[in-house]
Structure 1
Amino acid sequence: MFVRSLSLGVAAVALLSSGAMAADLIIPTTPQPIYESAGFSWDGLYAGVEAGGVFADDVAGVSNSRGLVGAVVGVNFTVADPIVLGVELQGDYLFENDNVGDAGLFLALGHVGAVVTDQVLVYAAGGFGAITQNGDSSGVYALGAGVDFAVTDNVSIRGEILGLGNFDDNNNDFFDAAKATVGVFYHF
């Protein structure tokens, strides 16, 4: 009788404890990642618009200061951790000033930049292009710098200033004008 009651007691304890364990099931969870994304990516294709002005002494027949609006398309490549290289095409419409007619400014630029923080890119730019006015076209070169600020995951704003000079400069000034712009860009 004692063995039988002991067997029933052990069986009861085994049944009750297994029911208690069933309530405490361990559900596997995935751990949180240790690495988080680095923030804004400056790599890849981008396009946008810019507005500003050209402040000219005389560059390719454009004299005095003029307002401008334009479009920009470019691509960036990160070659080392903070270093970014890029190429860019700019096409700007220069508004008429002093009844000399509207003009167009077209530039092909190369960029060398450094990512200061995840949201800030500082760069130097240089290139060449042309100014067209009244059916005439003249070659120009450009050197300058700018800074881009990321405002969302795909949108950045920019401030840029470029010195513009004539290839056929008779007065031997290195820069004959300055182009100052602000822009908004979408990064694909």
Structure 2
Amino acid sequence: MFVRSLSLGVAAAALLVGGAQAADLIIPTTPQPIYEAAGFSWDGMYAGVNLGGQFAEDDLGDNVSQFLLGGAVGVNFMVADPILLGAEIQGNYLFENDDFENAGQFLALARLGAVVTDSVLVYAAAGAGVQFNDDDDAGIYALGGGVEFAATDAVSVRAEILGIGTFDDGDDFFEAAQATVGVFYHF
């Protein structure tokens, strides 16, 4: 009986020692970093198309409007976390209606914006350019702003309103209002 008790005791000790050694075989590992989406990047170059209208008064004081189709190229710089600085060149074509002739327009704009969320940018824009038609050319200035939404990782949609004035001796600070919507690709 003693041999049998001794054999059972040795077998139990072997099982307990084996379990203790198995617990020591756990190898510590470093945790994997958690992946976070980078969000939309407003930095860098972009190009796109826009359409809308320009609304003004004719010589008789009647409200008139023209359809506008154009494009823009620009570059943005994030100077601080929510603050964006940018430069943009717009080229637009204003279609003829009963009161106004066809006209072309080029604007160079500076933009100052704030990134409200990763996908929303609110900005102010100011600049100068030229508007021309068959009869004459006019130096113009623009002041306004807009909001831009990130639609995908590289595409944004924008709504913009600019007040347009000429550098001649006009009575009004703004002689026209220009409202556009556009789609832009960010490189």
TM-score category by the smaller chain?
0.7 to 0.9
1:158-169 matched pairs, under 5 angstroms: 158-169=158-169
Structure 1 equivalent of residue 129 of structure 2:
129
Q: CA deviation at 1:137?
A: 1.1
User: Mapping of 1:109-148 within 5 angstroms?
Assistant: 109-134=109-134, 136-148=136-148
| Matched letter for residue 184 of structure 1 | V
Deviations 1:123-172 (CA, angstroms, capped at 9, x unpaired): 000000111100521101000010000011000000000000010033x2
- Which runs of 4 or more aligned residues in structure 1 lie more than 6 Å from their structure 2 counterparts after TM superposition? none
Cα distance in 1 between the residues matched to 2:45 and 2:55: 30
Aligned 8 A contact 2:64 2:99 in 1: no
User: What does 1:1-188 correspond to in 2, within 5 Å?
Assistant: 31-33=32-34, 36-57=36-57, 64-98=64-98, 100-134=100-134, 136-170=136-170, 172-188=171-187
Contact 1:125 1:144 in 2 (8 A): yes
Which segment is superposed worse, 117-126 or 93-102? 93-102
Contact 2:76 2:84 in 1 (8 A): yes
Q: Partner amino acid for 2:119? A: Q
**Cα separation, partners in 2 of 1:41 and 1:162, compared to 1, 3 Å:** same
Same amino acid, percent of matched pairs: 60
TM-score, structure 1 length as denominator? 0.80
Structure 2: stretches of 5+ with no match in the other structure: 1-6
How far apart in 2 are the matches of 1:160 and 1:91? Answer: 14
Name stretches of at least 5 consecutive residues in structure 1 with no aligned partner: 1-5
Distance in 2, Cα, partners of 1:100 & 1:65:
9
Give the deviation of 1:105 after TM superposition. Answer: 1.2
For 2:101, what is the secondary structure of its paired residue? coil
Tell me if structure 2 keeps the 8 A contact 1:58–1:176: no
Letter in 2 for 1:179: Q
Q: Which residue of 1 aligns with 2:3?
A: none
- 44-53 or 130-139, which moves further after superposition? 130-139
Instruction: Tell me which amino acid in the other structure corresponds to 1:117.
Output: T
Please say if residues 127 and 143 of structure 2, whose CA atoms lie closer than 8 Å, have aligned partners that are also in contact: yes
